[in-house]
Amino acid sequence: MTAAQRVNVWVRKVPSWAVYILGAMIPVWYFWLAVSGQMGVEPINALERALGLLAMQTLVVVLAVTPLRRWTGISLVSHRRALGLLAFFYVCCHLAVWLLLDVQDPGRAWADIVKRPYITIGMAGFVLLLPLAATSNDRALRKLGPVRWRRVHTLTYVICVLGAVHYVMVQKVWEIEPLVYLALVLALVATRLPRLRRRAAA
C-alpha cells in the first residue's frame, strides 16, 4: 500500500459529522478567545479578521481537492461537501461579526457595501456562495442533474478569486500573505481551466 493510499484509508475513516462538528467549533473557540481578552486590544477587528482568514483558507482547501488527488493520489473528496459548507459558515460568521459587532448600523453597512470596493467584492463572494450552499445536498444534485449541478458549482472558482482579491484590498499596504493566497488561488484555477473549457465546449 502506498503512503497516499494509507492516508486515504485514514481520511475515509473520519465521519463527515466529525468534520462538521470540529469545523464548527473553530469560530466558537475564536469567539471565546475574543471575549476572554486573548485577541488583543481590538478583539472585534481581530475576530473579524481571524474568521475571514479561516474562510479564505478553507476555500483554498476546497479548491485544492481535485489537484491534490491528481498530483499526489490523496483524496479528500469524501469531505469536500463538508469543507465547502464550513467555508460558507465561516463567511457567514465573518459577515455577522462585521454587521452586528463592528458596524452595528444597517444604513452604514449598506453605504460601505456600495462605496468601499473591498466590501463590495467580499459581499459579491458571499452572494455567490448562497446558490452553492443551497445546492450542496443530494436532493439538489438529483433535481439539477450532474451537468447543471457542476455548472452551478463552477462558481467556486469565481468565489475564491473574489475572496483573495478582497483579502489583498483589505490591507492598507501591499502585504506578502494576501498576495501568496491570490497567487495560489489563480494557480489552482489555472490547473482547472483546460477541463472547464472542454466541459463548456461539450
Binding mask 112-131 for ligand HEM (x = CB under 6 A): -------x--xx-xx-----
Q: Which amino acid is at 98?
A: W
CB of 50 to ligand HEM, least distance (A): 7
Q: Which amino acid is at 167?
A: Y
Contact 181, 161 (CB under 8 A): no
Of the listed pieces 18-26, 49-57, 64-72, 139-147, which binds ligand HEM according to CB under 6 A?
Answer: 49-57
CA 53 to chain centre: 9
> Considering the rule CB under 6 A, would residue 95 count as an interface residue with ligand HEM?
yes
> Considering the rule CB under 6 A, would residue 83 count as an interface residue with ligand HEM?
no
CB of 52 to ligand HEM, least distance (A): 3
- How big is the chain, counted in residues? 202
Q: Which is nearer to ligand HEM, 176 or 201 (CB)?
A: 176
> Considering the rule CB under 6 A, would residue 45 count as an interface residue with ligand HEM?
yes
Q: Which of residues 58-77 bind ligand HEM (CB under 6 A)?
A: 59
Contact 78, 19 (CB under 8 A): no
Binds ligand HEM by CB under 6 A, chosen from 26, 141, 170, 179: 170
> Considering the rule CB under 6 A, would residue 161 count as an interface residue with ligand HEM?
no
Alpha helices in 116-202 (DSSP H): 117-134, 138-153, 155-170, 176-201
> Considering the rule CB under 6 A, would residue 88 count as an interface residue with ligand HEM?
no
Contact 23, 91 (CB under 8 A): no
Cell 446558490, residue located: 131
> Considering the rule CB under 6 A, would residue 79 count as an interface residue with ligand HEM?
no
The set of cell numbers assigned to 31 is 469567539
CB of 34 to ligand HEM, least distance (A): 14
Count the Cβ atoms, other than its own, within 10 Å of residue 172. 6
Bin 40: left if φ > 0, else alpha if -120 < ψ < 50, else beta: left
> Considering the rule CB under 6 A, would residue 94 count as an interface residue with ligand HEM?
yes
Residue ranges in contact with ligand HEM by CB under 6 A: 45, 48-49, 52-53, 55-56, 59, 91, 94-95, 98, 119, 122-123, 125-126, 159, 163, 166-167, 170
